[in-house]
Amino acid sequence: MKAAALTMILLAVTQTASLGQGRPTDVPRQIYGKVQIIDGRTFEFIKSRQVVRLAGYETPRLEQTATSESVTWPAGQVSRAWMILRTLGQNVNCTPIGRDANKVLIAHCFVGETNLAATAIAEGIGYAFNYRNEPQVPAYFDIERKARGLGFGVWSSPDLLPPWLYTASTANDGLSDRLSSESDRVLPLPLPVTPDSTVTLTNTHGG
């Protein structure tokens, strides 16, 4: 997706937009700082040691490869490298919205005003996806549809299995959980929360 088109999508949101889903009481309001990338959708805050997974977003598994126009490339490693480049030397601002089945925080995360998941989806780095009982992000599916139509990234490889089909342990749950958003509307995207100087890294633990 061209930068101008992505900018139009991001500008379509408003500060009053809400996903309509509350944040559990054991989830911190905000986490801010430098991160160490674990995989394309998961990272750990260096100082607080909080592990966060991006909400509404999935990437190829690290070992997965793709083939585009007879060229084989490491799809999983590319997704991880993309996230490293986007966050290297930058403070990441996360707004946790819940925990997954393994009690890992799931969050909307930003570098400046750049929504990491939305931008990655727009560039074909990964997929819009919601696991069962996790807050849904319908706007990501509108972004994905445009990237898919343009054949970006993961959509350039017909033989690349989505991770929820590639991984046997998540295939049964994931296949039925994926949202089917077929409207052409641009729905609200999560917006970054301004870092609160009164919130320190030592009190951002959700436990």
Question: Cβ contacts of residue 62 below 8 Å, gap of 6+?
Answer: 39, 40, 76, 77, 80
Q: What is the three-class DSSP state of 51?
A: strand
Residues β-bridged to residue 105: 52, 99
CA-CA-CA-CA dihedral for 38, 149, 14, 27, to nearest 10 = -30
Apex 2 CA angle, 95 and 75, nearest 5: 70
Q: Say what the pLDDT of residue 56 is.
A: 96
The interaxial angle of helices 139-150 and 3-11, nearest 10 deg, is 170
Q: 3-9+26-183: which CATH number, 3.50.50.60, 1.10.287.620, 2.40.50.90, 2.40.160.10?
A: 2.40.50.90
Q: What is the DSSP letter of 94?
A: E
Q: Say what the pLDDT of residue 16 is.
A: 28
Count Cβ atoms within 10 A of the Cβ of residue 45 and give its class: 0-12 exposed, 13-18 middle, 19 or more buried.
buried
Q: Can you tell me the distance from the alpha carbon of 173 to that of 50, in angstroms, rounded to the nearest whole number?
A: 26
The length of the chain in residues reads 207
Q: Which residue ranges make up each domain of the chain?
A: 3-9+26-183
Apex 78 CA angle, 43 and 107, nearest 5: 30
Q: How far apart are the first and last CA of the chain?
A: 39
> pTM of this prediction?
0.73
Q: What is the three-class DSSP state of 49?
A: coil
Q: Say what the pLDDT of residue 133 is.
A: 86
Q: Say what the pLDDT of residue 169 is.
A: 43
Q: What is the three-class DSSP state of 78?
A: helix
Q: Say what the pLDDT of residue 134 is.
A: 87
Q: Say what the pLDDT of residue 22 is.
A: 60
Q: Can you tell me the distance from the alpha carbon of 49 to that of 57, in angstroms, rounded to the nearest whole number?
A: 21
Across the chain, which has 207 residues, the per-10-residue mean pLDDT values are 48 35 77 97 96 96 94 96 97 95 94 97 95 89 96 94 74 49 50 59 42
Q: What type of residue sits at position 105?
A: L
